[in-house]
A and B are shown apart, each in its own frame.
Chain A
């Protein structure tokens, strides 16, 4: 906190914070307002007499109706949810096990293996999709949800592994040792002690993984082609931008509805998730 007189607090803390929040939230505001604004207002020239870009007196659900009636938005939502949940689940299981192994089992080259896993995370997706699409074709997975469920873990697993490794390292070794003296085998100590204690870490890894796969664009664009298979980010962009015509209303409605599940996931776990990021384990 800034110490001292009230005006100092305003100048150095409150006003900058307010500006920051405004700048961050403005795109969301724009998205919301565009979603509910009738087309007539949306395409009104900027110098028209009744031009008012920040507010509407005639809110409409027309764009949302369009989204569900004229496009396959509901299917896209369902696809995205399925793919995100499945790839998150796969990545969490692998990430938790690998992270535990790297943090706790002193096998040879554990350190370099950890670094290696991290490096794979650094390979950009914009390069990786080229060889991956070869593989997808070879296994005839193109245009199916599997093409994404199986490729998202290529960047999610390193991510989860790394995050969980850090979290496991922060858990005192004595907890496990005590459990093993108490009569638990290694796997029991992990199941009954380490994993419950690591729940905040697992939740934050899960939320991040879910968000990353929910928003993923490149692989989804490349590996899926038929409209019924698409995910929200790709579907919205490919079906609602035709040539150089932007259907701004439905586009924004799609973006808004598409970001709701992520927002719910965040707000639901926010406490755990903050604890997970700051890595606090209290004994």
Chain B
């Protein structure tokens, strides 16, 4: 078990593609760390640098106390699960799992015991004699996991291991992965572009964009207090609503105003927003923090909206709303009766408003 520390990591491909930009990370011992971000943001590249499959352009990587920049992959004591599983097609499941141990000259008895243990954990004992092509997608996934855990490495690396599975199996394997980690307690670094996977699996999550780390934190921390507009919009489904508003002052109170919106700035945000008086900011509000107003809701936190689409999902109803010139999505109770074309008075939860700088996109 070990911590993994990245200091000032950069990666240039062919001298000009700057794929990873000055990444600093401190991944704790026994932690399940998830890298998430849109495709091409440098997650895989970062992971491959940790694995030793990709040269580090600048910066240092430590696994445990050791600086591993110049260590070959085999000497880093890590195991990696690839997106396409990379099972050795000519070997049986047993041999696939045993290969790493054989290479490391483990005794036959020990190899058999470890493969047996791992296959019991993963429920693949009856598959040990088969070849990879005789397995289903989910089974291959398990074998790939088994091959990683037999070695008892210091760190597990996962590169989108679930993305080749169908939706149902993916949810199931996600739960199993989480259990597996709780049972083994090995430090794990997991790459995905799926924000749901990131939120459900990660002890902490790293959100990346264009090779830059946007924010690191526990899932709910990222969800409730996103550091940038990108993080706010990337996590959560449906995504957070954004509106460009102007900060003004009326009757001694700060307000954010745009066509169709006139919202009072809640008292805890006043200090933060005052420097932006007279300028535009981006207001963010999550769909679940919007609701249909009742008479009791204070005028300061309500606005008018026109219903354009009603999506009845069962556990919730999504309303696509036209607000002024912009659009918003609201998630409301499934019991409300609304139809296309209705004019509604909506209310929002003032404690859950987010404000972002228009230029830097950083949270205010």
Contact = CB atoms under 8 A, between A and B. Distances in A.
B89 A197 contact: yes
A283 interface: yes
Contacts, number: 71
A59 interface: no
Contact of B84 (A172, A185, A192): A172
A199 B76 CA distance: 31
A184 B86 contact: no
A181 interface: yes
Contact of A178 (B72, B76, B82): B82
B80 interface: yes
Nearest to B86: A174
B86 A183 contact: no
Contact of A175 (B72, B86, B100, B103): B86
Interface residues of B, number: 28
Interface string A177-188: 111111111001
A174 B84 contact: yes
Interface residues of A, number: 21
Contact of A182 (B53, B85, B90, B99): B99
B132 A283 contact: yes
A20 to B, nearest CB: 34
A177 B90 contact: no
A177 B100 CA distance: 12
A178 B88 CA distance: 9
User: Which of A174, A182, A192, A282 neighbours the largest number of chain B CB atoms within 10 Å of its CB?
Assistant: A182
Interface in A148-200: 172, 174-175, 177-185, 188, 192-193, 196-197, 199
Contacts of B51: 177, 181
Given A180-B72, A182-B74, A283 B99 contact: no
B86 A182 contact: no
Contact of A183 (B52, B103, B140): B103
B88 A184 contact: no
A181 B80 CA distance: 7
Nearest to A183: B103
Contact of B86 (A178, A188, A196, A282): A178
Nearest to A193: B88
B78 interface: yes
A281 interface: yes
19 contacts: A177-B53, A177-B73, A177-B82, A177-B86, A178-B86, A178-B147, A179-B88, A181-B79, A182-B103, A182-B147, A183-B100, A184-B74, A184-B103, A197-B89, A281-B89, A282-B89, A282-B133, A283-B132, A283-B140
Interface of B: 51-53, 72-74, 76, 78-80, 82-90, 99-100, 103-104, 132-133, 140, 147, 151
